[in-house]
Amino acid sequence: MMKVWAYIHPDLGILCCALLKESVPEGVNAVELEVETPDDVILDNGQIRLKTEAEKLEEEKQKKLAELKNYVAKLLEPTDYVVVRIAEAEINGDTDKAERLKQKYTKQLQEREAIRQWNEQMKEAIRNAKTLDELRQIEIRYVKELQLLSLTSRTSKKRCKKHVC
């Protein structure tokens, strides 16, 4: 925790936070606050206040969801060409070529499906987090082998008897 002195800038009318009391301009009223970060201070209808835990949690969820979206886009990007080639064949009415491409790129298509399923699970976990600590413990990291194993076990009719899949 740290102390900040929050005030409304006399000329600009914006919220400012000073780390030192002497940094507050002369003649300006400042509110002394204990914060984790100066970003915890907001101006709400002309009143300086701290964000609530619910506001912090929602803000962090939005950041985490944006991070996840960017991460997933980077995971899918190397195989985007596969989807484009199949779509082009389908648009051109060449269903035979589209089917051949689907067969040729089965592994890549399965990986993309696993990534999308993992993405949905991560979004759900982020949205369901009840506390900042719980949210911060969610690591955005895709492990290809585990996800493909999970996808294979769900789509396969045979079950492994030695392991719970």
For residues 66 and 116, membership in a common domain is answered with: yes
For residues 144 and 73, membership in a common domain is answered with: yes
User: Could you tell me how many helices (H) and strands (E) the chain has, helices first?
Assistant: 6, 5
Residue 72 located in a structural domain: yes
For residue 141, what are the domain limits?
A: 54-155
For residues 23 and 96, membership in a common domain is answered with: no
Distance (Å, whole) CA 40 – CA 151: 41
Residue 161 located in a structural domain: no
Residue 163 located in a structural domain: no
For residues 36 and 67, membership in a common domain is answered with: no
Domain count of the fold of the chain: 2
For residues 6 and 47, membership in a common domain is answered with: yes
Q: For the segment 59-94, what is each residue's pLDDT rounded down to a tens digit?
A: 999 999 999 999 999 999 999 999 999 999 999 999
Q: Per the confidence metrics, is the pTM higher than 0.95?
A: no
User: What confidence category does residue 142 fall into, taking pLDDT thresholds of 50, 70 and 90?
Assistant: very high
For residues 45 and 97, membership in a common domain is answered with: no
| Phi, psi of 14, rounded to the nearest 5 degrees | -110, 160
Residue 146's pLDDT is 56
Residue 150's pLDDT is 55
Q: For the segment 5-45, what is each residue's pLDDT rounded down to a tens digit?
A: 999 999 999 999 999 999 999 999 999 999 999 999 999 99
Residue 165 located in a structural domain: no
Residue 111 located in a structural domain: yes
Residue 164 located in a structural domain: no
For residues 80 and 127, membership in a common domain is answered with: yes
